[in-house]
Amino acid sequence: MRTMWNGLLASVIVMSSAVASAQISNVGTETQGTVNILGGPSGNIVINGPSADYRSDSLGTGGGYAAFADINGDNIFFEAGSMSAGQGNGSRSVTEVSFDVTGTVPGGRIDRIVSTVFESTFGFYLGNFDTGCSGATLPSCARTTVEDGFDSFGRFGAVDGIGEIARTGFAFEILYNDAAIRTIAGSISMQRNADGSIAFIEDLGSGDNALSAALIGFGSDDVANYAKVYKWDRTPFEATLEDAIEFGESAKITYRITTETQSWARNFGNNASPNMVVGFACFADPFGKGGGRIEVPGFSAMLDAIGNPADATCDDFVLDGDEEPRVYTLGLPVVREGVIVFAAVPEPASWAMLISGFGLVGASLRRKRALHA
């Protein structure tokens, strides 16, 4: 699904200084989600579409996704998340915002973009399916730390359950003319070994793109044998354009988030146990729990005004979540001092982090503004 907000934006020329100016146009959003349910009540189910969709299999487990983006006024609201549980169920979501940048002043040069990776989380936990949840209501499945743990589970259909039990991951990308110039991604696979032990195979990036280096507050929120979770806080970053945008040139910039989960989990211990492995990846989910917390008074009323696409993806991955909505928004893109700024709308609680996170870029911009003043 594609939405476009051209209005005034298509003809606005951003003149932040004589160093660089640009026209921002064709700001749009695109979302897509897929859920695959093996052995649903009426056979296998494959669903494709935007927004959110959760389905149950014949055992009551299942999966689903949230993929939403909306341009409203000067803000862009979005969420991207996937969850799955059970024997052969999976989901995937893709949420993106794109826009065109055109150099409009002779001698101008645009060579960087600064943006925001929102607080997020991904991993596995054990959900209690006796609490009224199901695949269709998977986001409401509370995390449990009693009865059967991870070591009771194996791969459905495999001898002794040996093999991959579940998988989850995400990818955040900035694309320049459809080619990625910055990627931050991670994945975890849960596996059962021949000796019955459980192993987690992780890909948490490397070098500058290692999650521990690229994301503020990156760390784990584990509970032995019951939860394997990684989370982080809101993080500003910058990326260099491979080819600077010169006068008269245009380029397409895309901000893309992908989440994906897959489950083949079966309880090889107590078949009567209400517990089930839940895999999830909740990237910038404004209605979930995320790494940090930012209160926005009146947000629920605002959601109602734009149609309230909220679902509760990953609301319960933490033990002490208050399930209050959080707003995660991007401001419309602008160009300042040769830099494309497409970043979070800074709430008061996040100003200090944003300023320190932009580092030399922000300091340089402030110094130049002071000189011009």
Identify the burial level of 266 via C-beta atoms within 10 angstroms of its C-beta, where 0-12 means exposed, 13-18 middle and 19 or more buried: buried
Which residue do the tokens 């495999």 mark? Answer: 158
Please tell me the predicted confidence (pLDDT) of residue 47.
76
Long-range contacts of 362-366 (CB under 8 A, 24+ apart): 364/337, 365/336, 365/337, 365/339
**DSSP SS3 for 75:** strand
DSSP 159: G
pLDDT digits (tens, 9 = 90+) for 24-81: 999 999 988 888 988 666 667 777 776 778 888 888 889 888 887 888 888 888 778 8
pLDDT at position 173 over 80: yes
pLDDT digits (tens, 9 = 90+) for 139-164: 767 778 888 899 999 999 999 999 99
CA–CA separation, 130 and 201 (whole Å) = 29
Given phi > 0 = left and psi -120 to 50 = alpha, else beta, which region is 252? beta
Please name which of 94, 82, 103, 99 lies closest in space to residue 36, comparing C-alpha atoms: 82
The segment with the largest mean pLDDT, out of 107-116, 119-128, 186-195, 292-301, is: 186-195
Average pLDDT over residues 5-11: 27
Two structure tokens written together for 15: 């003149």
Please tell me the predicted confidence (pLDDT) of residue 337.
86
User: How many CA atoms lie less than 13 Å away from 337 in the CB half-sphere?
Assistant: 11
pLDDT digits (tens, 9 = 90+) for 301-322: 333 333 333 444 454 343 344 4
**DSSP SS3 for 211:** helix
Range of weakest confidence among 83-97, 108-122, 278-292:
278-292
CA–CA separation, 94 and 31 (whole Å) = 6
Identify the burial level of 334 via C-beta atoms within 10 angstroms of its C-beta, where 0-12 means exposed, 13-18 middle and 19 or more buried: middle
Average pLDDT over residues 201-223: 91
pTM of the full predicted structure? 0.80
Two structure tokens written together for 64: 């689903």
pLDDT digits (tens, 9 = 90+) for 136-145: 878 767 778 8
Please name which of 213, 138, 126, 139 lies closest in space to residue 165, comparing C-alpha atoms: 126
Two structure tokens written together for 82: 């996937």
Please tell me the predicted confidence (pLDDT) of residue 260.
95
List, in sequence order, every residue forming a beta bridge with 239; answer none if it has no partner. 113
Range of weakest confidence among 99-113, 147-161, 301-315, 330-344:
301-315
Domain residue extents for the chain: 2-372
Please name which of 312, 311, 185 lies closest in space to residue 257, comparing C-alpha atoms: 185
Mean pLDDT across the chain:
76
